[in-house]
Copies of this chain bind each other. A is one copy, B any other.
Amino acid sequence: MASLAPRIEQVISALQCLPGVGRKTATRMTLFLLQGHRTEAGEISQALDEALASITACRQCHNLSDAELCAICGDERRRNGQLCVVESAADLVAIEETASFGGLYFVLNGLLSPIDGIGPEELALEAFLPLVKTKGIAEVIVALNATAEGEATTHFIRELLQDSDVALTQIAHGIPVGGELGYVNSRTITQAFQRRVHLDT
């Protein structure tokens, strides 16, 4: 049943690299673009080419940026003594959208995972301590996934900061707001009990 031309198969195959996109979704997207949305297809292609040509990693925090220094690192108002460690630019964006953090970031582009051969060098962690020292950081906030890799990475950062007087904090683990207890796994419930907070009475 070779009903699709090779050039169409090529688009389907390329789109399957996207997170959460399998063959079925990629096929739907491809036929959608080539059939009635050719202008939009051209826009995607052009936008990707332009971004690939102009977007690199920020020299200081490794966030995605169109300049040597990203908008956050270049903003003097963000130098409040806080540095937030995140796994990816996507997590950075998620935090920025909440407007709940006003300091600088350090983007790891991954988490420590000895099984996958990802050590401190792969995460460019050698740039971390110099950044903490030169930017007058008083508190490092670890905002990583609550997974084994996230915990291993947090442990490594703790060791890096052992001989400094920089405070190390971790974002809270617990029941998601709007979430229901019955749908949360038992380790989350255990953590939520251990880290319970006092309410004013």
Residue A138 is within 8 A (CB to CB) of chain B in the complex: no
Interface-lining segment among A21-29, A149-157, A170-178, A187-195? A21-29
A17-50: CB near B (< 8 Å → 1, else 0) gives 1111000010111111111111011111111111
Q: Cβ of A93 < 8 Å from any Cβ of B?
A: yes
| A151 CB to nearest chain B CB (Å) | 22
- Copies of chain A in the complex: 2
Nearest CB on B from A27, distance (A)? 6
- Of the listed stretches A64-72, A128-136, A139-147, A159-167, name the one at the interface; the rest are far from the partner chain: A64-72
Q: Could you tell me the distance in whole angstroms from the C-beta of A50 to the nearest C-beta in chain B?
A: 6
How many Å lie between the Cα of A90 and that of B3 in the bound state?
11
Would you give the shortest CB distance from A164 to chain B, in whole angstroms?
A: 27
Residues in B with CB closer than 8 Å to A76 are none
Question: Is A31 a contact partner of B66 (Cβ separation < 8 A)?
Answer: no
| A169 close to B (CB within 8 Å) | no
Q: Shortest CB–CB separation between residue A23 and chain B, in angstroms?
A: 10
